[in-house]
A and B are shown apart, each in its own frame.
Chain A
Amino acid sequence: MSQKVLEVQRLQKFFGGLRAIDALDFTVAEGQIKSVIGPNGAGKTTLFNLITGIFPPTGGTVEFKGKMLNNLKPHDIARLGISRTFQTLELFGNMTVLENVMIARHSRTVAGIFRAGLRLPGVRREEREIKEKAFEELRFMGLENRAMMGATFLPLGEQKLLEIARALATEPQLLLLDEPASGLNIRETERLSETILRIRERGITVMVVEHDMAIVMEISDEVLVLNYGKKIAEGFPRDVQRNREVIAAYLGEELTDA
């Protein structure tokens, strides 16, 4: 197995009495596509929020390439090379498609308020580079024709792709996709799984939270199954699919000792 990109140990997140994530251990290997599945409320999005520093864990650790992420702010974590999309779209509605992606270059560029105000030569060059890189990612996602549109005027499917383009423009080493296929039609879903595979080809490790089992089975190298914040299975897609506990969690069957 290649190097670990992400290592999660004894991770806990309690909201009052609710154990959203409980004693969770797992690792993500470099270049892997790892899916996280589980019934609604299993803690999948909470897990992403913990990794990206939206809120701090109650206990345990998250390490990215050997660096502890606990207590780091979201913008620090983005700078380190983790990017994400959101389950409920979080596009900047007050900006164009292009500008949405340009924002993502923030942590890879430097112009501060005084240099920007004086429009020093370095600032112009940087602006140009920001725009070029943003267009590059829009082309990668097939959205270059939409560049000048208001972001929220795109159809839902394209808004989801735009979130991925934006996340990619931060130059992540680890990309977290939170239900990228929800609300997409069949053709868009096919295009999405093909896109995720192309992202992996760029050397980016991908974690996907997804309910669409067809996609999960098709693209995942490994699957992590959560239920009530706990890991109930982890492994190759085919093995997970046959796991009794997983089936029970999804179908709501009682496990009987037999």
Chain B
Amino acid sequence: MKREDLYPLLSIAIIIGLFPLLAGGQEYYLSLLVFVGINSLIAMGLSMLMGYAGQISLGHAAFFGIGAYSSGILTTKYSFQPPEAFFAGIFLSAIIAFLVGKPTLRLKGHYMAVATLGFGEILFIVFNELAPLTGGPSGLSGIPPLTIFGHPLEGAHYFYLVWGLVILLLLFSLNVINSRVGRALRAVHGSELAAGAMGVDASRFKVQVFVLSAIYASMAGSLYAHFITFISPSSFSLMFSILLLMMVVVGGAETIWGALLGATLLTLLPECLRGLEDFEVLAYGAILMVVLLFMPQGILEGMRKMLRKKG
């Protein structure tokens, strides 16, 4: 973590701390922010993968799904405790990410995008067809709420859990970025030739970041499953993978803060546009297009530039 990250981090912590009080008993706002938190988790991992390892994943909805289904299946059918299922999902996602990433990240170019696209589709089919376990297209219901030491977490407590995890992983990510590993990844971005000559094994770190981003997505999936207690394959489709990519791009892939901003905006935007009814999708698309036309490096970088011009 650098000093310049301290103030944004503190302000987020304060907003999160006070939000449940400000929202009063309004469950709607709390749950909206829980979704923002869940999407932020995935977007942060994806932003490290895109902004630092220079790779695009079109399959992160699948890792999100692995987390969700691990939690869902293990707690409803095999009477695991939710925390056990949570870690089982992480473990499974990490192994799968390693197996997908290891061969594809050795190649230069966008093989990763293609491989993850295929992987995402395969998992989508598995979620649909493995009906005895997943409940098939009609979904899996009755997932118990998350319990910690036997205490179920609900309402504001769950909100704090999700955002506590967001902040912890944000810190973790910032540490990684400002370390030997983050430098190595930026070096690969700058000149892969020179990075190699300086002893950096590019593919090794790309795989590590990919696995890390899969772990973030899996955590988000578990939190999602326990939160809404019902999951079905449609939540883990290619469309969601693309939405996740959009969050990173709209916010700005250059920094991890961009992912947070993008996840927040794209999660809240449909809610704000709900009043437009039939025109919602149209407005949503138009806003995204305008943002990317005028701020191709994302909103965060775009705002920075505007501030610099004024100052």
Q: Which A residues fall within an 8 A CB radius of B?
A: 52-54, 73-75, 78-79, 83-84, 86, 90-95, 99, 102-109, 111-113, 116-119, 123, 126-127, 130, 166-167, 170
Q: Is the CB of B186 within 8 A of A94?
A: yes
Q: Is the CB of A73 within 8 A of B194?
A: no
In the complex, chain B residues whose CB is within 8 Å of the CB of A102: 183
A106 in contact with B196 given A73-B201, A112-B208, A113-B209 (CB within 8 Å): no
Query: In the complex, A104→B191 CA distance in Å?
Result: 13
Is B214 positioned at the interface, with any CB of A under 8 Å from its CB? no
Q: Is the CB of B183 within 8 A of A75?
A: no
Ordered by A's residue number, 15 sampled pairs between the chains whose C-beta atoms are within 8 Å are A52-B197, A54-B196, A74-B197, A75-B201, A86-B193, A92-B190, A94-B189, A95-B183, A103-B184, A112-B208, A113-B205, A116-B180, A119-B1, A123-B179, A127-B179
Q: Is the CB of A103 within 8 A of B195?
A: yes
Q: Which of B161-206 contact A (CB under 8 A)?
A: 172-173, 175-176, 179-184, 186-187, 189-191, 193-202, 205
Q: Is the CB of A95 within 8 A of B180?
A: no
Which of B172, B179, B190, B196 is in CB contact (< 8 Å) with A75? B196
Majority secondary structure of chain B interface residues (helix, strand, loop or mixed): helix
For B169, the closest partner residue in chain A by CB is A117
Q: Is the CB of B179 within 8 A of A103?
A: no
Is B244 positioned at the interface, with any CB of A under 8 Å from its CB? no
For B204, the closest partner residue in chain A by CB is A75
Q: Which of B70-111 contact A (CB under 8 A)?
A: none
Interface residue range, chain B: 20 to 34
Q: Is the CB of A166 within 8 A of B198?
A: yes
Q: Is the CB of A106 within 8 A of B198?
A: yes
Q: Is the CB of B198 within 8 A of A78?
A: yes
Query: In the complex, A78→B199 CA distance in Å?
Result: 5
Given contacts A116-B176, A170-B198, 8 further A-B contacts (CB under 8 A): A54-B193, A75-B200, A90-B191, A95-B187, A99-B183, A117-B176, A127-B180, A170-B199
Is B299 positioned at the interface, with any CB of A under 8 Å from its CB? no
Q: How far is the CB of A87 from chain B (nearest CB, A)?
A: 11
Q: How far is the CB of B284 from chain A (nearest CB, A)?
A: 33
In the complex, chain A residues whose CB is within 8 Å of the CB of B173: 117
In the complex, chain A residues whose CB is within 8 Å of the CB of B189: 94
Q: Is the CB of A104 within 8 A of B176?
A: no
Is B212 positioned at the interface, with any CB of A under 8 Å from its CB? yes
Q: How far is the CB of B172 from chain A (nearest CB, A)?
A: 4
